[in-house]
Each structure stands twice: as structure tokens, then as C-alpha cells.
Amino acid sequence: MANRVTIYEVAKRAGVSIATVSRALRGSPLVAAPTRRRVLAVADELRFRPSRAGRSLAEGQHAASAIVFPDLAGPYYSEVVLGYEEVVAELGRSVLILATHGRPNATEKVLELSGRVDGMVIMGRTVGDEVLTRIAETGVALVLLARPPAGPFDSINTDNEHGARGLVRHLFDDGYRRLRFVGDPDASPDVAGRYAGFVEAVDAAGLTAGQTPREPVRCTFDVQAGYEAARGVLGNRERPQALVCANDEVALGALRAAEDAGLVVPDELAVTGWDDIMAARYGRLTTVRQPMRELGATAARWLDERIAGGSPHPRHEVLRTQLVVRSSCGPHRSSTSQTSPTSQTSPTSQTPTKDSGPS
């Protein structure tokens, strides 16, 4: 361990018992002012810092909490973790993080982690519900984030279905009829929700399976995967008019594939993303913004309340998303009609719903 100077040394030097040192340091009223001053002076001089392990053991608390997520790649999780860290630190707890990376030993790692915190936020597809139950049994508080409600746990989500329906309606209104979902609904609960909303809206709009195959074009979450997935589907003669992508990275890859295929965006092909990451703005990507930072922050606060022993009833919140329209979609012109010969994305074409200012 680190700390060389212990409470015993302070006690000896200050001529008191370790109990008094402990009390003085934690501001107990059971210490006379002069004694407290003396102890504090000695502690300061010796640069004493109580051993965290000793305290944890004696108090039965860790003063720490964790967040578990599938991966840290891409801006989404970073933002969530940032929001989390900020609040937890403010609340006086240390912050542990763990990315499961879809590893087979994820469960073991999470269980291990659960042994050093008072509570943890569990995101998306990281560990199974059995693991949650097991952890909760040991007395660790739990909050679910971007993961469907389960057991007696609080949960925080965004309204993926609703957002996706709005997105599809917008595309429909712009004249797009042959849509295609790009992304793997099995990859995360969020994508599953987006896909569900997509299918719902497409059904509601009465689009035939011939126009819009319900089957998603599955791919992982990165730009490269989006590129390849899009390229595969854009080769067909009956290619889609709009690609509804699982997130912004995939969409950005799709955009690039469109460019490579010589397709004019948005005239011949619309592409939409999800999250509204920073690059989405510069890629002029229509997307659905979700309050990433706030997700993490809210989870942190709820967890804190749980650790403090909050209400017995699980809370569930579903945050709204916001459609952000940029020039990767727009009034659709049938690919049979005339199109401008060069690939140009007009920088001024579309007044975004919410995309102004330099920030």
C-alpha cells in the first residue's frame, strides 16, 4: 500500500489515542478544541492521509462508484461517461470505469468491480440480468442506462422508437419511399429500439416490403462497417433511396460509400444517423440528437440517491430525442428524373431544425 504514516504515529506524536485522532480528523464534536488543533497540526505536519482500505473496511463503504459500458470508442460513450464522472466527483465519490468490449470474461470483471464500489451504472449490452441480480444481492446499488428496465432497478433511456418514427416520417414527407435500415438491432438495446420504430413507421406509412425491405443491413458501429454495408446495398439496381443508419459513425461511412458510388446526396440518396456527434455537423448529416451528457449525469444522481437508500420504488425515465435536419436528406427527386451531374452537397440547401451557431 501507499501510505506510510498511519493514525498510530499521529496519535503518538500528538499524545492522544488513535480514537481521538480519528474523531478530530472527521470533525466529531467529541473533541475539545485545543486537542483538535493539536491533532490537526500534527497530522498536517506528518502529511497524514487515512488509509482508504482501512476506512473502507471499518466503515463498510467504498466512497466510489462505477460505470460499465460496452466500449469507449466513438463520442457517444465518452460523453455519457463524462457526464457521469462530473457529477459523481462532485458528489465526493471516486469514479471507476469498465469497458466490457464484448469480452467473454466481462461478467467476471463486472463482479470483481462490484466488490469495490457502493453502486454502479450498467449500460446496454454488457452483462446479463442474472449478473445484475447477483450484484444487487451483495448490497451494491444499481442503475440501468440505455438498457431496458429489469428487476427492481432504476432505468434511464432515450425514446428510440419515437425518434425513429419521426425520422421515417420526415423522410417519407420528403418523398423517399425505398428506405433501408443499416445497423444491427442485436448490437444494443438502443439500436433495437430504433429499428423497431423504423419498422413501425414504415408499416404505418404503408410502404411495401418490395419498396422497403424490413430486413436490416447488419453492421457494427464504426465508419468502416457503415461504408461496407452501404456499398453492398447501393450496388443493386433497386437500391434504397434512403439509408437510416444505427448511429452517426455508420451514417458517415454510408455517406462516403455514396460518394464513391457517385450518388448525389440528398437528391439520389438520403442518409441519416443517430446521436449528433461532433463529426455529424461537419458531415452535414441529418441525425437524431440525444442528450448524452445528461444521460450520464442523471444516472449519477439517481445512483447517488440509491446508495443513500432512496425510495423503494424503481424509477424509469425516457428522455426525448430531437431530430436534427441537415443536408444529408432533403426533398427527394426520383433517380429517373434529371440530376445534376456532379456530386455536390449544397452548403446552404436546408434550414436545419436546430443547427445554428458556431458552438
Partner DNA sequence: ATCAACTATGTAAGCGCTTGCAACGGGGCA
Partner DNA sequence: TGCCCCGTTGCAAGCGCTTACATAGTTGAT
- What is the binding site for DNA (CB under 7 A)? 1, 3, 6-8, 15-20, 22-23, 25-26, 29-35, 48-51, 53-55, 57-60
Closest approach of Cβ 262 to a copy of itself, in Å? Answer: 12
Closest approach of Cβ 67 to DNA, in Å? Answer: 25
Among 18, 40, 46, 82, binds a copy of itself (CB under 8 A): 82
- Cβ proximity to a copy of itself: between 188 and 212 the closer is 188
Subset of 102-121 contacting a copy of itself (CB under 8 A): 109, 111-118
- Cβ proximity to DNA: between 55 and 101 the closer is 55
Among 40, 91, 95, 150, binds a copy of itself (CB under 8 A): 95
- Cβ proximity to a copy of itself: between 96 and 150 the closer is 96
Q: CB under 8 A: which stretch of 8-16, 192-200, 238-246, 281-289 binds a copy of itself? A: 281-289
Closest approach of Cβ 171 to a copy of itself, in Å? Answer: 22
The site partner of 114 among DNA, a copy of itself, none (C-beta below 5 to 8 Å per kind) is a copy of itself
Closest approach of Cβ 241 to a copy of itself, in Å? Answer: 21
What's the CA gap between 335 and 261, in Å, rounded? 14
- Cβ proximity to DNA: between 93 and 332 the closer is 93
The answer to whether residues 225 and 161 touch, using CB atoms and an 8 Å cutoff, is no
The site partner of 23 among a copy of itself, DNA, none (C-beta below 5 to 8 Å per kind) is DNA
Residue 358 as a binder of a copy of itself (CB under 8 A): the answer is yes
Closest approach of Cβ 117 to a copy of itself, in Å? Answer: 8
- Cβ proximity to DNA: between 52 and 239 the closer is 52
Closest approach of Cβ 231 to a copy of itself, in Å? Answer: 9
Which CA distances in Å does 291 have to 74, 115, 258, 277, 283?
15, 30, 29, 11, 20
What's the CA gap between 285 and 293, in Å, rounded? 20
Closest approach of Cβ 352 to DNA, in Å? Answer: 54
Among 266, 283, 291, 330, binds a copy of itself (CB under 8 A): 283
Residue 91 as a binder of a copy of itself (CB under 8 A): the answer is no
- Cβ proximity to DNA: between 50 and 352 the closer is 50
- Cβ proximity to a copy of itself: between 84 and 172 the closer is 84
The answer to whether residues 153 and 144 touch, using CB atoms and an 8 Å cutoff, is yes
Subset of 145-204 contacting a copy of itself (CB under 8 A): none
Beta bridge partners of 322: 289
29 to 68: interface string for a copy of itself, x by CB under 8 A: ------------------x-xxxxxx-xx-xxxx-x----
Cα 327 versus chain centre, distance: 26
- Cβ proximity to DNA: between 44 and 215 the closer is 44
Q: Indicate the residue type of 355.
A: D
What's the CA gap between 123 and 127, in Å, rounded? 9
